[in-house]
Amino acid sequence: MIKIYSPRNHLEAQGLQDMLASHHIHAHISGTYLQGAVGELPAHDLLGLLTDIADADRARELVNEWLNATPVIDDTPEE
C-alpha cells in the first residue's frame, strides 16, 4: 500500500475512504490511534490514507476532485 493523502482529521479521512469505496477502491486509514499520543508525538501528519499501488493514481485523482468540488446548495424550499 502507498500513502496518497494526509487527511487533516479522522472525519475527513473517513469521508474520503467512503468516497473511494464508492468507486471500488479499497483505502486504509493509518495513524488513527496515534492521535491519542499527541503531546508525545508531533500533532501533524499522523493520519494517512493508503491504497494499493495499482489504484493510487485513480485514488489521487478522485481525492483531488473531492477536495476541489464546490458544494451544491439546494435552494428549493421545503414544503
Would the pLDDT of 33 be above 70? no
Give mean pLDDT, residues 42-62.
88
Q: Looking at the 3D structure of the chain, how many domains does it have?
A: 1
Would the pLDDT of 31 be above 60? yes
Is residue 73 in some structural domain? no
Residue % of the chain over a pLDDT of 90: 59
Is residue 57 in some structural domain? yes
Is residue 75 in some structural domain? no
Is residue 16 in some structural domain? yes
* Structural domain of 17: 2-64
Using the CB atoms, write b or e for 25-62: b if 16+ within 10 Å: bebeeebeeeeeeeeeeeeeebbbbbbeeebbeebeeb
Is residue 74 in some structural domain? no
Is residue 47 in some structural domain? yes
